[in-house]
């Protein structure tokens, strides 16, 4: 039976992995929340991996506030970048395969056709830069790794696009949603299924790969798909999200 450590257990991907765990009875999953394993602390990591060997480590811990990262670059770089390097060091030492989750925001959105893993990166935001740093540190410090870039992740778990707009819709609010960005929305449980299925079958891509939803759409289109009965309107400029440099087009292809 393969043993798997999962960090960031309380995030939406961590919760999604927990939700589908019963579908994989041959995997021994150990979930770590922040109080059990602080991935920004080398000592905490050493203690977690010094007493038990894990075949795989899935790092779901992340700083995901794209707007907040602009004014908290140190925190974003620590959690998304340096912490990934710490985990890679531990994985290398303990012969563990590291699965690192990354993002479409490592691209600048100027390609205008789906990005493939070999395309050049050029993040526009602090968030994207911090995630790219994580990719680089994983590759530098670990021989056996899978960096999975995904995009626009949503689910019923935690705080994300879907849960936020559903709360507002349930309160009877008009939903003003931007249509200026194009990407591939990804349902978190499907990403979780991709990871655990790949581990079980032994065919999880090594190196850098992409996994995202198949449909290319705007945030406005996603809102209409998720909440077809809600009052959803295209946001004018004054109702657009706080200004952050985001890729205008960030659809991902394998």
Structure tokens given for 222: 């996603």
Please tell me whether residue 219 adopts helix, strand or coil conformation: helix
Can you tell me the mean pLDDT for 112-136? 96
Residue 61's nearest CA partner among 25, 24, 36, 92 is: 36
Phi, psi of 129 (to 5 degrees): -65, -40
Q: Is residue 22 exposed (0-12), middle (13-18) or buried (19+ Cβ within 10 Å)?
A: exposed
Say if 177 falls within a structural domain.
Answer: no
Of the pLDDT bands very low, low, confident and very high (cuts 50, 70, 90), residue 250 is very high
Query: Does 208 map to a domain?
Result: yes
In a domain, 60, yes or no: yes
Mean pLDDT (the chain, rounded): 94
- pLDDT for residue 139: 97
Query: In angstroms, rounded to a whole number, what is the distance separating the alpha carbons of residues 97 and 88?
Result: 9
Q: Residue 173 domain-assigned?
A: no
Q: What is the DSSP letter of 197?
A: H
pLDDT of the residue at 12: 94
Compute the distance between CA of residue 235 and CA of residue 174 in angstroms, rounded to an integer.
Answer: 10
Which letter does DSSP use for residue 244 in this model? -
Q: How many CB atoms lie within 10 A of CB 44?
A: 16
CATH of the domain at 88: 3.40.50.720
In a domain, 17, yes or no: yes
Q: What is the pLDDT of residues 162-207, one digit of tens each?
A: 999 999 999 999 999 999 999 999 999 999 999 999 999 999 999 9
What percentage of the chain carries pLDDT values higher than 70?
A: 97
pLDDT, one tens digit per residue, over 147-167 is 999 999 999 998 899 999 999
Q: Per-residue pLDDT averaged across 212-216, rounded?
A: 96
242 in any annotated domain:
no
Residues labelled as active-site residues:
127
How would residue 96 be classed by pLDDT, with cut points 50, 70 and 90?
A: very high
Task: Give a yes or no: residue 164 inside a domain.
Answer: no
The pTM is what? 0.93
- Count: domains in the chain: 1
Query: What does the alpha-carbon distance between residue 38 and residue 83 come to, in Å, rounded to a whole number?
Result: 9
pLDDT surpasses 80 at 44: yes
Which residue carries 């961590």 as its tokens?
A: 14
For the record, the structure tokens of 62 come out as 């992340």
Residue 95 domain-assigned?
A: yes
Q: What burial letters (b/e) apply to 221-246, b meaning 16+ CB within 10 Å?
A: bbbeebbeebebeebeeeeeeeebbb
| Segments forming the whole domain that contains residue 108 | 2-155+187-213
- Residue 58: which of 92, 101, 111 has the closest Cα? 101
Give the pLDDT band of residue 238 (cuts 50, 70, 90).
low
């Amino acid at each position: 039976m393969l043993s798997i450590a999962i960090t960031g257990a309380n995030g939406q991907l961590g919760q999604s992995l927990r939700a589908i765990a019963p579908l994989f009875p041959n995997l021994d999953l150990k979930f770590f929340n922040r109080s059990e394993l602080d991935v920004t602390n080398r000592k905490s990591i050493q203690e977690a991996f010094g007493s038990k060997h894990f075949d795989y480590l899935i790092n779901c811990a992340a700083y995901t506030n794209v707007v907040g990262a602009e004014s908290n670059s140190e925190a974003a770089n620590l959690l998304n970048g340096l912490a990934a390097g710490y985990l890679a060091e531990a994985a290398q030492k303990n012969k563990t395969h590291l699965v690192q989750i990354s993002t479409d925001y490592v691209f600048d959105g100027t390609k205008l056709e789906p990005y493939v893993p070999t395309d050049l990166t050029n993040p526009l935001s602090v968030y994207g830069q911090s995630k790219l740093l994580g990719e680089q540190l994983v590759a530098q410090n670990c021989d056996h790794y899978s960096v999975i870039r995904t995009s626009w992740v949503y689910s019923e778990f935690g705080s994300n696009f879907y849960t936020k707009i559903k709360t507002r819709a349930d309160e009877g609010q008009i939903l003003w949603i931007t249509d200026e960005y194009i990407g591939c929305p990804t349902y978190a449980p499907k990403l979780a299924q991709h990871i655990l299925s790949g581990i079980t079958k032994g065919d999880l891509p090594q190196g850098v790969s992409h996994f995202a939803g198949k449909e290319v759409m705007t945030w406005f289109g996603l809102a209409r798909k998720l909440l077809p009965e809600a009052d959803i309107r295209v946001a004018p400029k004054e109702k657009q999200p706080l200004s952050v440099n985001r890729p205008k087009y960030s659809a991902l292809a394998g």
